[in-house]
Each structure stands twice: as structure tokens, then as C-alpha cells.
Amino acid sequence: MILYIKYMVSLRCKILVKDELTKLGLHYVIVDLGTVEILEDITQEQHNELKKNLLRSGLELLDDKKGILIEKIKAVIIEMVHYAEELPVTNYSDYISEKLGYDYTYLSNTFSEVKGINIQQFIILHKIEKVKELLLYEDLNLTEIAYMLHYSSVSHLSNQFKKITGLSPSYFKKLKMQRIENLENV
């Protein structure tokens, strides 16, 4: 049986879900971002208990088909941007469509209807979060980051970064250096 869980976006979420399943005596095969496969059918009582326990941790057990599809789309994007060794060389639309087995127009329309933003905007938001992470924790320059995340140019990356964050990438990195300096002076 497959269960779908909303807001499940990190390794910590996976651990939490595994713990909750174990507490209920459920045996999982796979616990992935947004998806859990368990060996047995879940009783209504177990379902209600799992739903209640997950909600306490900010996760939500999904029951409706659109919500489940949206979580699948989000999980593919998060996996692609944050956890894949390399971003796909193909169009993101082709990649997502292929991964989920649906026509991209259908996925895009459903996503926009439910989330209020389109898939491309969601991808951009996550790419900018990845850029922030790389600027803060890696010794990569902007050219390397732009290449890694398949931006057409450093200028394109910088413009998108500024549009989303209100800061230039160089100023964002400078703030990091100031924070480090301030911590060292404490």
C-alpha cells in the first residue's frame, strides 16, 4: 500500500515518518520524499492515528488525488534540485512528465490551480534556495554555480537571485562573511 505525505521534504522527515510507522506496527518497504510504501493494508484506526501524529510534526497524510499529484510534483522537483548529483540536461518539463508519467500540460495546470504558482516558478524558488546554500556552505564562485544549475549566464542567475531575494548574490555572500566575523568577535 502506498501513502502520500504532504510537506515531507527532508531526511529528518523520513526518519520521523519511519518512527511513526514503527510505533503503529506498520512495516515500510520504502520511505521517500512524499511517498511511503508499506507492506500491509492500514486500518482506519491506524490511518487516523498516523494522520494525527504526523500533523503534530507539521506533516499531513493526503487523501485527495490532486493533493497527492501536487506532492509528487514537488517531490520530483525537490529531489532534482537539492539531492540529484546533477540537474537533468533535458527540459525540466520533459523530465517531470517522464518521471510522473503524465502530460506536462496536465501537471502544470493542476499545479497552478492548487498552488497558485506555476511549476517553473516553483523550480526557480528551489534553485535560488540551492544557490543560497552553495554560496553559504561551498567554496564555489558564481560562475561555477551558474554552470552547475544550468543557468544560461551568471547575469541570468544574478538577476533571478535579486528578483527573488532582493539581494545580489555578492551582497548575500558578503552578509555571510559579516556574520562569521561577528561570531568570531563575540
Give the phi and the psi of residue 136 in degrees, each rounded to 5: -80, -40
Taking the CA atoms of the chain, what radius of gyration do you get in angstroms? Answer: 19
- Are the C-beta atoms of residues 81 and 127 closer than 8 Å to each other? yes
Residue 184 has pLDDT above 80, yes or no: no
Residue 89 vs residue 99, higher pLDDT:
99
DSSP string, 112-133: HHHHSS-HHHHHHHHHHHHHHH
- CA nearest neighbour of 98 among 67, 64, 72: 72
pTM value surpassing 0.85: no
Name 44's Cβ contacts closer than 8 Å, sequence gap at least 6.
Answer: none
Domain range list for the chain: 2-63, 68-177
pLDDT tens by residue, 129-159 = 999 999 888 788 899 999 989 899 999 999 9
pLDDT digits (tens, 9 = 90+) for 99-135: 999 999 999 999 998 888 999 999 999 999 999 999 8
Homologous superfamily (CATH) for 68-177: Homeodomain-like (1.10.10.60)
DSSP alpha helix (H) spans, 7-118: 11-23, 44-56, 65-78, 92-100, 104-115
Query: Is 97:104 a contact under the CB 8 Å cutoff?
Result: yes
CA distances (Å), origin 162, targets 80, 106, 150, 156, 170:
23, 31, 17, 10, 10
pLDDT at position 183 over 80 = no
> In DSSP terms, which residues pair with 37 in a beta bridge?
2, 30
